[in-house]
Amino acid sequence: LGQGLSAANGMAMTAKLDGADWRVYVIAGDGEIEEGQIWEAAMSAAQYKLDNLTLFIDHNGLQIDGSNEDVMDVMPIADKFRAFRWNILEIDGHDYDAIGAALHQAQAAKGKPTVIIAQTVKGKGVSFMENAVSWHGKAPTKEECERALRELGGEG
């Protein structure tokens, strides 16, 4: 937990040192960014101008122990990354067009890493899972899986 951004920094820096034109993407949850290592990596990515690095944050406000606000309030996320000199993009994480546009904007940003803060709803579209912290790391039963698939418009 919290180590992905540091690993991604190493990959992005390697690409820069090798003159490679590939990009590095990392996904973190909003609860995960409570880890101190995330903030050290955020400072490092900005210091080394890793503009080939994009961090997605799944911002649904919930984590294993409850709401982020109750466990360890991470707000305001955008302002924290702005203070570390990142390019900030905030989107609806359920809007595929917004995700695609943000990826293009991230690629166009020069001289700094990009964070895409994706506002999401945990368990979106499944009535018994939506915004329910109890589903963090819990597998559905066969019956629950079938019900969820039906609610999402799939076969159940």
pLDDT in tens, 80-113: 999 999 999 999 999 999 999 999 999 999 999 9
Higher pLDDT, 24 or 62: 24
pLDDT digits (tens, 9 = 90+) for 55-65: 999 999 888 77
Count up the domains in the chain and report the number: 2
Statement to judge: residues 75 and 20 lie in one domain? yes
**Pairing status of strand 66-67 against strand 62-63:** antiparallel
Statement to judge: residues 97 and 155 lie in one domain? no
Higher pLDDT, 75 or 132: 132
Statement to judge: residues 133 and 63 lie in one domain? no
Statement to judge: residues 35 and 10 lie in one domain? yes
- Determine the residue type at 124: K
* Number of Cβ within a 10 Å radius of residue 51: 20
**67: domain range?**
4-120
pLDDT, mean over the chain:
94
Statement to judge: residues 80 and 22 lie in one domain? yes
Q: What is the pTM of this model?
A: 0.92
Statement to judge: residues 13 and 28 lie in one domain? yes
* Surface-to-core class of residue 103, CB atoms within 10 Å of its CB (0-12 exposed, 13-18 middle, 19+ buried): middle
Statement to judge: residues 114 and 38 lie in one domain? yes
Statement to judge: residues 109 and 138 lie in one domain? no
Statement to judge: residues 130 and 116 lie in one domain? no
Statement to judge: residues 16 and 76 lie in one domain? yes
